[in-house]
Structure 1
Amino acid sequence: MSSADLETVPEIDDALFSARGIETGYGELQVLYGVDVDVRDDEIVLVFGPNGAGKSTLMKALYGRLPLWDGTTEIDGTDLSEVRSNRMIEHGVGFVPQTENVFPNLTVSENLDIGAIHTEDPASRRAELFELFPRLEERLEQTAETLSGGERQMLAMARALMPDPDLLFIDEPSAGLAPQLIERTFEHIARIRDDGTAVLMIEQNVNAALSVADRGYVLDMGENRFEADAETIRESERIRDLYLGK
């Protein structure tokens, strides 16, 4: 794939989730300028780029935490453009924010109970998630504040997965984790995809994220800069020189 191909952001016909022409910002400050993103139902899609590129703003806009100034979002043909974050799970979209993603004073069990509000069979769903995160079953009666960083991240993902969403947004899953836990975290994310939930994630540890991602978008100065499959991104000297620090 040439550099010219990398700069083309194609529209994917069989996408589960699509965002088109996303523009938004804060007050009078515009941050995003016509960003496009697609996620198929069997993909992990990575969004990365330099600090200040607008990655977290994009995640907030796509999840309804920030109003769109222009553009549209949809999942499986349903328009989400005006759906606020507290209604997203009703449309099959879950979210794991970077911070404040668990209730620290509540037990692991109580955190999962909160995640189960929109779950038809909570006990069965818990059992499925304990297969993915067995450590949580061992920690059920501990408060979240007593968990390790890796265990908290497991709990945050499990709580968001309790309603069995079609798509999970994850913001900086490796942030604050010890190096030995980062690989395990991305292994969990790969399992989430393999178990039937598509993933859109923002991550600064790009090389680690590319080990499990299927495709990636580079966001720079609030605009799409490059889009390609993960292998092409890893092999692109241009992307490596500009964004991967090698």
Structure 2
Amino acid sequence: MSDIETLRTFDDSLLSARNLATGYGELQVLFDVTVDVRADEVVLVFGPNGAGKSTLMRALIGQLPVWDGSVAVRGHDVSEVPADEMVSNGVGYVPQTENVFPNLTVSENLDIGAIHAADPASRRREIFDLFPRLDERRSQLASTLSGGERQMLAMARALMPNPDVLLIDEPSAGLAPQLVERTFEHVAAVRQTGTAVLMVEQNVTAALEVTDRGYVLDTGENRFEGDADEIRDSDRVRDLYLGRAAPDGG
């Protein structure tokens, strides 16, 4: 288990943030944060309330300006790329809330995601193979779906352009306990298709079942980084964070 003094970095990263600083207005939330996601990895970010987890996601996707440091995809600096152009740089994003269009059908939601797809018809078939339940619900309005199905649709829509890496903010938030495991099975399935995943998640124990590596953020700084087994086996992380990790909204 590494602390901030010996934080590992990876030269073969698909997505990397280096010494990232950002915030809102004059309020700095992230301080010198470094995160790597390599190809085909599932990487978890967790920490206590107010740690800056969602802020990190917004900075990575271009919704917040990078005050200092950098964000790169496949070695290409995207620190100043606006959010609406990140898809063309290979990055998809599933926000925690308002992540589907409720008054559109499942198919229509996928159509919106397909705007940047190279072969929409072929990609739609791949998505329905990945999420058969959505195929069954293709004509239903998203507002009529269950919470788990909506989360599935949000992932599917973000996957339509076949991104290199998918950022997911709190995939299990608001779901019934019996649906949480299924949600993480979907995350694992996404990785199996060749898309790497970076997720913020409050249900750390369940998320670690499909995670390769993880980062702990606290008060906007890296506190720990390690493989899933290292995080799970660390008395310090368990005592300090696993009992209090919760949605932070910021």
- Shorter-chain TM-score category? over 0.9
Give TM-score, length-normalised by structure 1: 0.97
Q: CA deviation at 1:42?
A: 1.4
Q: Secondary structure at the match of 1:114?
A: helix
Tell me how far apart the structure 1 counterparts of residues 212 and 3 of structure 2 sit (CA, whole Å).
15
Give structure 2 stretches of 5+ with no counterpart. Answer: 245-250
Pairing 1:118–2:128 present? no
Q: CA deviation at 1:68?
A: 0.9
Letter in 2 for 1:171: D
Asked whether the equivalents of residues 3 and 222 of structure 2 are also in contact (C-alpha less than 8 Å), the reply is no
Q: Deviations over 1:154-180 (max 9, x none)?
A: 100000000000000000000010111
Asked whether the equivalents of residues 231 and 237 of structure 2 are also in contact (C-alpha less than 8 Å), the reply is yes
Asked whether the equivalents of residues 41 and 197 of structure 2 are also in contact (C-alpha less than 8 Å), the reply is yes
Letter in 2 for 1:16: L
- Residue 233 of structure 2 is aligned with which of 232, 235, 243? 235
Match of 1:48 in 2: 46
Tell me how far apart the structure 2 counterparts of residues 25 and 154 of structure 1 sit (CA, whole Å).
30
Tell me how far apart the structure 2 counterparts of residues 158 and 245 of structure 1 sit (CA, whole Å).
31
Q: CA deviation at 1:11?
A: 1.2
Identity within the alignment, %:
72
- Residue 76 of structure 1 is aligned with which of 74, 77, 84? 74
Match of 1:23 in 2: 21
Asked whether the equivalents of residues 19 and 34 of structure 2 are also in contact (C-alpha less than 8 Å), the reply is yes
Pairing 1:13–2:11 present? yes
- Residue 99 of structure 2 is aligned with which of 84, 98, 101? 101
Asked whether the equivalents of residues 105 and 139 of structure 2 are also in contact (C-alpha less than 8 Å), the reply is yes
Tell me how far apart the structure 2 counterparts of residues 124 and 75 of structure 1 sit (CA, whole Å).
25
Q: Deviations over 1:122-143 (max 9, x none)?
A: 1111111111110000111110
Matches within 5 A, 1:85-164: 85-164=83-162
Q: CA deviation at 1:9?
A: 1.2
Give structure 1 stretches of 5+ with no counterpart. Answer: none
Q: CA deviation at 1:77?
A: 1.4
> Larger deviation: 85-94 or 10-19?
10-19
Aligned length: 243
Match of 2:242 in 1: 244
Give TM-score, length-normalised by structure 2: 0.95
